[in-house]
Amino acid sequence: SGTMGYALALAARRRGAAVTLVSGPTALPAPPGVQFVPVVTALEMRDAVLARLEKATVVIKAAAVADYRPAVRQAAKIKKSAGPLNLALERNPDILAEIARRKGSRIVVGFAMESEDLLENARAKLMGKGADFIVANDLTQTGAGFGTDTNIVRILDWEGGDERLPLLGKLEVAGVILDRVKQIRGTGRIRDGR
């Protein structure tokens, strides 16, 4: 739905940050005071994010990016025929991993939505993608994940930290994430880009 990303943009703006919100299509209004960059496809999102990386000091990737896209884009409507239709799909680039490789001294934050083995899968994403920390979400818990105004998250960081948070509104979760970013900045314990 975009709720988490928009809450982050709003919370960061309220704290005085210069915020750029790169967003796929959502039903939400752009938060006031942020630079809003609408995109449609994962490739457009990658280009928009990478083009702005240089100027950014913190990148938070809350978008649920499609893992695949149709290999061929049809200009016209696909006519039906009697038999089944197979669509070839190809992998989309992993934007978070790409950013993290070029992060330098930036702080990069990712999300992980899991329906099984939350800790193991989220930790593998954290380590594999190269983020400073991952906000992990258990989709099996009521009040967490897609299409809700609340979230139950767990913050896993690259140094092994694991903080479980109670059920919070997404704006409150955004506050906790920004507090964490601030804390990392304060201590300077920033993960190296690979």
> Which residues sit at the interface with ligand C5P, rule CB under 6 A?
42, 61, 63, 65, 67, 92, 94-96, 110-112, 125
Cα dist from 56 to 71, 87, 193, whole Å: 32, 37, 15
Which residue, 2 or 33, is less far from ligand C5P as judged by CB? 2
Quick one: 94 or 138, whose CB is closer to ligand C5P?
A: 94
Nearer to ligand C5P, 33 or 44 (CB): 44
If the CB atoms of residues 6 and 111 are measured against ligand C5P, the closer one turns out to be 111
CB of 21 to ligand C5P, least distance (A): 13
Long-range contacts of 85-92 (CB under 8 A, 24+ apart): 91/67, 92/42, 92/43, 92/46, 92/65, 92/66, 92/67, 92/68
81 in the Ramachandran plot: left (φ > 0), alpha (ψ -120 to 50) or beta?
Answer: beta
Q: Would you give the DSSP letter of residue 157?
A: E
> Cβ 33 to ligand C5P, closest distance in Å?
23
DSSP one-letter string for 7-57? HHHHHHHHTT---EEEE-S-SSPPPTTSEEEE--SHHHHHHHHHHHHTT-S
Query: Smallest gap, in angstroms, from Cβ of residue 80 to ligand C5P?
Result: 30
| Nearest to ligand C5P of 11, 122 (CB atom) | 122
CB of 164 to ligand C5P, least distance (A): 19
Question: At its nearest, how many Å lie between ligand C5P and the CB of residue 95?
Answer: 3
